[in-house]
């Protein structure tokens, strides 16, 4: 696949500024079959059309092998029966059992062979119009899962779908009828694998578009418009049951990719040779918008809306490169910048979203146009991140492992190690990171000041304790040299001459006239 051939081309190890960065030939983004459409790493480098042909060819081969195995088993059973047919008491019992067993197996394989075609084709066959009353009633009864999925978004999608189809009159009624029937039938296919669910949806898209063009003579441009609305309606209703289904390993891949990107947090612009200068306000704004768009992809339900998020993200990347270089961006500039954006954003459920778009998007969008081009580049970026190693970043393998484990950082090497020293103000990938490292340096200085203050406080405490002990010792020596003598006071009469001056004058009698 093109993602497997993605390799960076660097200069000598001692001249990292001469690296050419990540390069991929645009022809490698196309289908490996040479049909001219965009390929996809999830389809082994094929486009959706060639992949479906390969898938159906492999499926048909498997059915033929099963038939050959069944015929071989039948011949072996018949030969074994003929060898023990000496006794004629029950000459037909065993053959009938054997033939009965094979007939059941044959019937099962026949049903399996025609199940998919019959299930999808019956929505468009005239016999579906004359279905029994019981079948019609069953079709009108919504399944519990569909009822639980009812929400504001699904109701709005249903109203928009009906409003759009009203302008088409009879073709619109047919499209609405078949779409509702398809959604109800998908409610009974929860246990199928992700690839089988994708086959059902893609077959429905194909048969619906063919019926519009052949039966109703709708132009190809209008068919695309109708299929966009059909995709929006169907996938909004089926989103909860087909996005990251339990039968797939999408969730496991999501966790692995998220852990991988988190471990690569130290990769910066210089390592990827990204031609973007985030010191420029307009460039920084476009980078933030690109990160926001790729994260917003997970909040959308319709594959077309998820693709629109990828397209907006890519256009912001091209704008950032154009502002930085003052010239139009090239494809070689776009891919490493997209890789950098994905590393910075670490989008939630990235693998599930890529698989969801791959499985259920209108195939024409993925094979051609700017949506298909940007989506193919995103798949290449994710594949490159998964295979990123020391050679890809022109690093020593031991340093790469230390960075990945978190034992060291390329921006802040240990002073006691054998690494080359860097300037106190290293060049970082964005103003936000520059502010972070500036604050870290400030905190480091404050930590040193705190240590000095604590040392001075401990010294002061020791001095106070020594002073207290010395003062106590001096007081003790003085008390021993000049002992304190407490003499009792001399007794005295209350009317003694000594204290008469301190007494108040005697009271003088007063005479009052009667």
Q: Is 12 helix (H, G, I), strand (E, B) or coil?
A: coil
- Give the ranges where 215-302 is alpha helix by DSSP (H): 220-242, 250-263, 269-272, 281-296
Q: Contact, 48 vs 203, CB < 8 A?
A: no
pLDDT band for 290, please (50, 70, 90 cuts). very high
pLDDT for residue 23: 56
Q: Is 423 helix (H, G, I), strand (E, B) or coil?
A: coil
Instruction: Identify which of 233, 205, 236, 239 has the alpha carbon closest to the alpha carbon of residue 362.
Output: 205
pLDDT digits (tens, 9 = 90+) for 319-364: 999 999 999 888 889 999 999 999 999 999 999 999 999 999 998 8
pLDDT of 130 > 50? The answer is no
pLDDT for residue 2: 44
Which residue did the predictor score with more confidence, 433 or 311? 311
Phi, psi angles (nearest 5°) of residue 22: -85, 135
Phi, psi angles (nearest 5°) of residue 220: -65, -35
pLDDT digits (tens, 9 = 90+) for 355-385: 999 999 998 888 878 999 999 999 999 999 9
Which residue did the predictor score with more confidence, 84 or 307? 307
Q: What are the C-alpha distances in Å from 19 to residues 188, 268, 278, 393? A: 55, 14, 20, 10
pLDDT digits (tens, 9 = 90+) for 483-504: 877 777 766 655 555 556 666 7
Query: In the numeric block, which tokens belong to residue 291?
Result: 């990160």
Q: Contact, 29 vs 373, CB < 8 A?
A: yes
pLDDT band for 128, please (50, 70, 90 cuts). very low
Distance in angstroms (rounded) separating the CA atoms of residues 302 and 305: 5
Distance in angstroms (rounded) separating the CA atoms of residues 229 and 225: 7
Q: Is 337 helix (H, G, I), strand (E, B) or coil?
A: helix
pLDDT of 390 > 60? The answer is yes
pLDDT for residue 55: 63
End-to-end C-alpha distance for the chain, whole angstroms: 140
pLDDT band for 36, please (50, 70, 90 cuts). low
pLDDT digits (tens, 9 = 90+) for 173-205: 999 999 999 999 998 887 889 989 999 999 999
Q: Tell me the whole-structure pTM to 2 decimals.
A: 0.62
pLDDT for residue 464: 93
Q: Spell out the residues 6+ positions from residue 267 whose beta carbon is closer than 8 angstroms to its own.
A: 340, 343, 388, 393
Distance in angstroms (rounded) separating the CA atoms of residues 12 and 233: 55
pLDDT for residue 98: 47
Q: How many residues does the chain have?
A: 514
Phi, psi angles (nearest 5°) of residue 9: -115, 115
State the virtual CA torsion across 368, 37, 377, 316 in degrees, nearest 10.
-20
Q: Contact, 337 vs 268, CB < 8 A?
A: no
Distance in angstroms (rounded) separating the CA atoms of residues 400 and 409: 10
- Residue 192: Cβ within 10 Å count: 16
């Amino acid at each position: 696949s093109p993602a497997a051939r993605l390799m960076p081309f660097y200069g000598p190890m001692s001249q990292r500024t001469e690296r050419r960065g990540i390069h991929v030939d645009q022809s490698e983004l196309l289908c490996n079959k040479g049909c001219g459409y965009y390929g996809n790493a999830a389809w082994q480098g094929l486009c959706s059309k060639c992949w479906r042909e390969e898938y159906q060819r492999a499926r048909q081969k498997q059915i033929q092998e099963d038939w050959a195995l069944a015929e071989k088993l039948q011949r072996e059973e018949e030969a074994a029966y003929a060898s023990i047919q000496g006794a004629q008491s029950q000459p037909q019992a065993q053959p009938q059992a054997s033939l009965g067993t094979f007939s059941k197996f044959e019937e099962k394989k026949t049903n399996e062979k025609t199940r998919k075609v019959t299930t999808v084709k019956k929505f468009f066959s005239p016999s579906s119009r004359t279905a029994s009353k019981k079948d019609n009633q069953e079709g009108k009864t919504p399944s519990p899962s569909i009822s639980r999925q009812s929400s504001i978004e699904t109701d709005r999608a249903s109203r928009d779908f009906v409003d759009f189809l009203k302008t088409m009159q009879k073709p619109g009624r047919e499209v609405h009828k078949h779409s509702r029937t398809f959604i109800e039938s998908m409610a009974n296919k929860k246990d199928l694998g992700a690839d089988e669910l994708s086959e059902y949806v893609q077959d429905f898209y194909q048969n619906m578009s063919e019926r519009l063009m052949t039966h109703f003579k709708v132009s190809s441009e209008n068919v695309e418009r109708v299929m966009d609305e059909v995709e929006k309606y169907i996938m909004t209703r089926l989103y909860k049951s087909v996005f990251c289904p339990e039968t797939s390993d999408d969730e496991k891949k999501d966790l692995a990719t998220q852990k991988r990107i988190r471990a690569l947090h130290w990769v910066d612009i210089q390592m990827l040779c990204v031609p973007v200068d985030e010191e420029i306000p307009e460039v920084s704004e476009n980078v933030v918008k690109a990160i926001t768009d790729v994260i917003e992809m997970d909040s959308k339900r319709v594959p077309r809306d998820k693709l629109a998020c990828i397209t907006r993200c890519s256009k912001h990347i091209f704008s950032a490169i154009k502002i930085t270089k003052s010239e139009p961006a090239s494809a070689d500039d776009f891919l490493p910048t997209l890789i950098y954006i994905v590393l910075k954003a670490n989008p939630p459920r990235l693998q599930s979203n890529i698989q969801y778009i791959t499985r259920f998007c209108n195939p024409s969008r993925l094979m051609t146009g700017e949506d298909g081009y940007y989506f193919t580049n995103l798949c290449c970026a994710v594949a490159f991140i998964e295979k990123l190693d020391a050679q890809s970043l022109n690093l020593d393998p031991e340093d790469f492992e230390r960075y990945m484990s978190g034992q060291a950082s390329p921006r802040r090497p240990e002073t006691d190690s054998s690494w080359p020293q860097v300037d106190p103000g290293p060049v970082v990938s964005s103003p936000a990171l520059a502010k972070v490292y500036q604050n870290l340096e400030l905190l480091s200085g404050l930590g040193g000041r705190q240590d000095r203050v604590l040392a001075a406080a401990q010294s002061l405490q020791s001095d106070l304790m020594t002073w207290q002990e010395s003062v106590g010792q001096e007081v003790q020596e003085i008390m021993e040299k000049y002992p304190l003598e407490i003499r009792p006071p001399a007794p005295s009469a209350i009317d003694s001459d000594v204290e008469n001056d301190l007494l108040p004058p005697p009271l003088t009698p007063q005479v009052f006239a009667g």
